[in-house]
Chains A and B, each alone.
Chain A
Amino acid sequence: MLLNVDQSNPELESISSLQITTKVNNNKMASKKIRTAQIRLMSSHQEVYEPCDDSFALVDALLADCSNLLKHCPALCMEIGCGSGYVITSLALMLGQEGLGVNYIATDINPHAVSVTRETLNAHGVDAELIITDIASGLEKRLAGLVDVIVVNPPYVPTPEDEVGADGITASWAGGENGRCVIDRILPVADHLLSEKGWLYMVTLTANNPSEICLQMREKGYASRIVIQRSTEEESLHIIKFWRDSDIEVFKNEKVMTEKSVPARLMDYVLTQFPLFSFWRSSDSDNKLIQRNPVHTDLDAKDLLRIQFHPVSHSLQSVRYENFDLWGTLGIMSFCYKCS
């Protein structure tokens, strides 16, 4: 059973504000108890990318998700492209070290960057295994399926192709066409290295077409959500978190069922469940599944609430909300809640 619901319901409008409140609280909590790398302790080198808005946004995303990360109990965490070491150092400060059963690996193609990362880690009293290599070359065979958390601030700036992977600092930002050249090489490697419960956090720029990246990852079975969206003078950054989600397969295969109205009482029940929903982004490859709300205002036309019931027991199976404009440039925003 499938239905579309009028978006003017005040309960629905409160979702985004509720989510934001939670994030703010998390940040406050995090800033009280949890340390990140300090700029005054950072090492530097003229050929190494210094922590900038993108690095700060990635660390802020990790902070915002810190309580989840701590519960996740990762054994192996990895940074691909560690640069100055700001991110891997912050992660190690957040999640702890060997005594807590957490170990870190960081790679960079730039030998100067790896040396700077070593100094930054030392200055903060934390440790990680460092390797000078291209993405994860040399690790792919034996590290497959073992990494629980991967963080990446890739070279995402659109540039001529011949600047990609160049010597020195250029490699830290040169991303080729649409800034996707290195990103598109990293994604399959990350998929290969991540454990069953593995999470990937990645910085993207609007020019990288993040919604397409999410779709690509969805085809590999990953759900995703934007942890932080931040616009600076020069760029609009999205920090996206990916995780394997068996539900993705379910939605891929699901068929559109007939639309029927649902008793108001049941609708009320559904709406009371909203605080439980987690946000995640996705889009259907099968256009038939995307049902736009037929109600007349512009806003309504962008939203869809799709509720699925069990065909026999009529119990609530899943709720799915999609908004085609909420994230502006990103296209479709949606979240999904599956009842057990």
Chain B
Amino acid sequence: MRLLTHNMLSSNIKGVTNGFPLRIEAEKVVEKTVEMNPDFLKKMFDKIQWKAFVDGSRAMGFTELPEEVDSSVLESDEFLSRFHHALLELHLEEGALVCPETGRRFPVNKGIPNMLLHEDEV
């Protein structure tokens, strides 16, 4: 699971009002190099909730993202390459996503988060 996906996921448990962001518990993180596309990064930059993204990247061991950003950072190639790396090249292979409100853990195995709910959570 990439941080791009993490940034799009919320806790879906019934009654939870503030299910975003899910806290990452990382047991195993892998890196897979992919080609960079600046246009995609610029498009996604506006859609990313930055704090959740920075916290997520730290939980996965990557600490080179700035705490605060505005759109001027997109001019910097150095920023783009870090953003690209954190967004698309880091994968949470084993671990969990934790609901910020209830503490319920959604397991991530072989890179795949399991968001299925128990009957009493739907």
Contacts and interface: CB of A to CB of B under 8 A. Distances in A.
**A, B: real partners:** yes
Contacts of A97: 34-35
B96 interface: no
Contacts of A100: 37
Interface size range on A against B: 20 to 34
Nearest to A137: B12
Contacts of A130: 111-112
B30 interface: no
A129 B1 contact: yes
Given A101-B37, A103-B4, A142 B112 contact: no
Interface string B88-122: 10000000000000000000001111111100000
A75 B43 contact: yes
A132 B34 CA distance: 24
Interface size range on B against A: 20 to 34
A244 interface: no
B115 A133 contact: yes
Interface stretch (A19-27, A108-116, A153-161, A252-260): A108-116
Contact of B110 (A105, A109, A115, A142): A115
B44 to A, nearest CB: 7
A134 B119 CA distance: 13
A98 B87 CA distance: 11
Say what secondary structure dominates the interface of chain A. Answer: loop
A132 B111 CA distance: 11
Contacts of A139: 8-10
A142 B19 CA distance: 11
A15 interface: no
Contacts of A140: 10, 12
A131 interface: yes
B77 interface: no
Interface of A: 75, 97-103, 105, 109, 111, 114-115, 118, 127, 129-134, 137-143, 146
List the 4 shortest-distance A-B pairs measured between CB atoms, nearest first: A99-B35, A101-B40, A133-B115, A101-B37
19 contacts: A75-B43, A75-B44, A97-B35, A98-B35, A98-B40, A98-B88, A99-B34, A99-B35, A99-B36, A101-B37, A114-B112, A118-B110, A131-B5, A131-B113, A132-B113, A139-B9, A141-B10, A142-B49, A146-B8
